[in-house]
Each structure stands twice: as structure tokens, then as C-alpha cells.
Amino acid sequence: MASLPTTTPPPPTPTFLLLSYPAPRVLLITMNRPKDLNCMNTTAQWEMDAVWKWLDAEPNLSVAIITGTGRAFSAGADLKEWNSSMDTGADPNSRMGNAPAFTPLSRRLGKKPVIAAVNGLTMGGGTEFIVNCDLVVAAEEAYFGLPEVKRGISPIGGALPRLIRTIGLQRASEFALTGRNVTAQEALAWGLVNKVVPKGELIKEAVEYATAIAVNSPDAIICTRAGIRQGWETAAVEEAVGITMDREFAELQKGENILEGLKAFSEKRAPVWKASRL
């Protein structure tokens, strides 16, 4: 297990999440509320929001992995707390679904890639998380669902338009409107999952993906991900290219890593990257 060099500011100290460093420049985030299937109450959502912001600001990290303890990845929002927040005398803006941090990963744009290591049951907001992750590795017994329609609510945390772009209108409609569960193998066939592995190999596989990313230029990782995300979020291809060139690529060209990468190639040696300035 690697350690994180001294940082400023220091990492958050959450209670719902466990933070560890399984490889250089890799953060492993473990949701740790197994008795409640790693569902997220308001406190947990604020914790996760803080961790994502810290990840993007931390120069010694390039990629994160998120997983869960126990038999669930995450059952999504804490519906018991949500029910309590629906008190008819309460301000509607104070309800759980309206909280500023309600969608800490499912609508995250961010700078750095996140890999989901899906260890088991993944429902509602948990499924919305993985829809917005950059890569997804799933255990063989994992399964996914958007059962919100069965509970009188809607998966409004960003998954619906993103599902259309990933798996198409008809599959997204089947998934979200029926509320049925989808197996890991079916999600793989749909293109929602990159790889399905035995549960005992899940974290190892996710760390291998993360390491394959983290050995690259920190600037280039951020810029390349931004280009992919603009292509996903922005309708016009050329507009997406232009945005990335004007923002991330313009900053990349001002940094030391582009010079190091080209020099190392010419000198036939491994590059020595600096922390990203993007």
C-alpha cells in the first residue's frame, strides 16, 4: 500500500468513507456503511463532495477508485432520511433531494478520472454513480438497478441523459422505466461496464487500470479526460474540440510535462513527470 506525500491542504477525514493509496498517484475511496448497504445520508454526501474537491486539488494524485464494503457497492440515497425530510411542515428546499451535495459523483464533472470497482448490489444513486464514472470494473455477482420509479421518485441525479449516450434510448428506457435489475454481464454487453472479474480480483483489476492511467503525464490525463467529457457533454464535435483546446490544452502547453514528455521520447528514456498545473 503506497502512502500519500505530505500535502497542503491535508486530505479530509470522513467517517463514511475510508481513504487509502494502493499505488502511486492512486486514491482508493471505500464507502463503509455495510449494515446500511453503503447508502448515503446527508452527512455522507457532504463527505464525498469534499473528497472529490480535494482529489482535483491534490497535485500528488491522478486517479481515484471508488468501491464499497460488504455485499453492496451502494444502495444510493438513504431513503429513510429522505422520508423524514419530507415532513409537510418543512421547507421543500431542505429536503434531501434538494441538498447541494445530493449528487456528489453522479453529476460530478471534475478534472481527474474515477474508476468504479463495483463489488455487489448497486441501486439508485449507486447506479447513477457508475454511469458517470470514467471506467467501471464489476464483480461477477454485481448487479445494477434504478428502482426509483418503484418508490415514487425519479433517478434525477444525472444518470438519465448520460445513460442514453452510453447505452442508447431503448436500453436506457428499459432500465429506468421498468426499474428492473441488470446483471454485471448484461451491463458489460450494453457497454456500461468495462470488465467483469471474480470478486477476489476486483480491487486488483481496478488498481491495474488506475496505474495504467497514473503513470502518464498528469497534465495530459486531465486534458485528455476533458476532451472526452466535452465530447460526451457537448453536442457538436468541433465545439467540444475547440473548448478543450482553448482551456486544458492551452494550459498543458504552458507546463513542464509536455517538454519532459517530448524530451524523454527523443532521449529514449522514461519521463519524470511534475505535479500537474492544470
Residues tagged active-site:
77, 125, 128, 148
Q: How far is CA 71 from the centre of its chain?
A: 19
Residues 85-110 as b or e (16 or more Cβ within 10 Å = b): beeeeeeeeeebeebebbbbbbebeb
Phi/psi class of residue 251: alpha, beta or left (left: φ > 0; alpha: ψ in -120 to 50)?
A: alpha
For the chain, state the CA radius of gyration.
Answer: 19
Instruction: Name every residue whose Cβ is closer than 8 Å to that of residue 202 and which is 6 or more positions away in sequence.
Output: 67, 117, 118, 119, 137, 138, 139
Instruction: Name every residue whose Cβ is closer than 8 Å to that of residue 228 and which is 6 or more positions away in sequence.
Output: 134
| Alpha carbon distance 211, 79 (integer Å) | 36
Neighbours of 239 (CB within 10 A): 12
